[in-house]
Amino acid sequence: MIQAFRNALKIPELRQRLFFTALLLFIYRVGAHITLPGIDDAALASWFQQQLEANEAAENIVGFINLFSGGAFKQMSIFALGIQPYISASIAMQLLAVVVPSLEKLSKEDGGRKKITQYTRYGTVILSAVQGVAITTMLKSWGQDNSIVSNPNLGWTLLVMITLMAGTAFVMWLGEQITEKGVGQGISIIITVGIVAAAPSGIQQLTADLISGQIGLPQIVVLVLLTLVAIMGTVFITLSIRRIPVQYARRVVGRKVYGGQSTHIPLRVNTAGMIPIIFAVTLMQFPGIVFGFLQKAFPTSTWITGLQVWFGPTRFLYYVIYALLIIGFTYFYTAVQVNPVDMADNLRKNRGHIPGVPPGKRTEEYINNILTRITLPGAVFLAAIAIIPMIFQQWLKIGTMVQGASLLIVVGVALDTMNQIESYLTTRRYDGFLSDSPMRSRGR
């Protein structure tokens, strides 16, 4: 692997792309530590510590938001919103492209994807503005008792809202530049860097708990084994595909023969990626928010307190509902991403067919049945990788860094980036990460 990195630096174009990516990521990490104007860092940190110790549901929500901002949300930096508004806008546009006929038609036209990307950018700016207003409102309410905000007037509100909106737009621009001129998928790499940046503090906290005696060596061993199993399982599920064989008919045009080759349609076991976990976590936030409002409105009500306890993030009912939502959203998003009707129609137009399956409706049903079967293990895996770390964290009393969404992001981005670098190396006859070069295979 070290030799592969050395070979990568020998290719001028790839070296330039790697340095460009590193520079933009450095700029992003610097911006993630610049606090919003008019905020007391010490008071903000103290408030977060008090709230997270008192409310485990708040800890889960804040931790998930912090995941997509690279730790900037807890610091309330200029990148506090991170790339989350862009992700939400992208998901919304994908869903609307299925529901709205005009958007679906636009997505299939030449240049239509660029227009949808532009609409996604507009949606990102709108969402970041709305969320910026919400954050200023929260900061002012917190500042009433904790002096977090020094002067919460209208001017400060507009300044912070514009700063957060501009920060999100800038991060979105950084991601697009990395995708175009760097290495890998820019948005995913930015999220991954934020996740990896939180690892040292997690290791430091784990070491401190071990030294203080709050946790023991057996718990550390369990954590390491859990991490290794989760990584291996994530790699396996991410790379798992079901190949559907396809045969194209032979055509004779003049003296030339076209078609006649055999290929396959790859269907991924985990087509939805981390999106179902994002959907599920978003919905699981609402019961806690609703019960919080009801408890403030009816402070003496015992049944509201009881419901809040039963729907707490450490209860069995919470895990069951969370798992069912992830499985349901996995099937839903897979249906949005993969359309058996379009696949069968494209095969028919290109004179292709699946051996033993009649074209048309039967091909559509065949692909749909296979997609339904292979989606189940992917959905169950997503539910397991999201819930099992939470259970271990509760039962073993250890703060685990193994979170479902973060693990899927890191593994997926690592594999995608390695494949892209691998393509540069192999096309220039260098040894890659995964295989030897063609020159070596011929006995160089």
Per residue in 166-224, pLDDT (tens digit) is 999 999 999 999 989 988 888 888 888 888 887 777 778 778 878 887 777 887 887 78
Distance from C-alpha of 337 to C-alpha of 119, rounded to nearest angstrom:
19
Q: Which residues pair with residue 242 across a beta bridge?
A: 267
Q: Is the pLDDT of residue 444 over 50?
A: no
Q: 274 and 409 in contact (C-beta within 8 Å)?
A: yes
- DSSP classification of residue 300: T
Is the distance from CB of 284 to CB of 325 less than 8 angstroms?
Answer: yes
Q: Decide the pairing of beta strands 241-248 and 262-268.
A: antiparallel
pLDDT in tens, 89-138: 888 888 788 788 888 788 777 777 888 889 999 999 999 998 888 888 87
Residue 436 has pLDDT above 50, yes or no: no
Count of Cβ atoms closer than 10 Å to residue 3 Cβ: 11
Pairwise CA distance, residues 268 & 243, whole Å: 9
Highest mean pLDDT among 2-11, 271-280, 292-301, 303-312: 271-280
**What's the rounded Cα separation, in Å, for the pair 422 and 432?**
5
Structural domains in the chain, CATH included, are: 1-197 (1.10.3370.10), 199-400 (1.10.3370.10)
SS3 435: coil
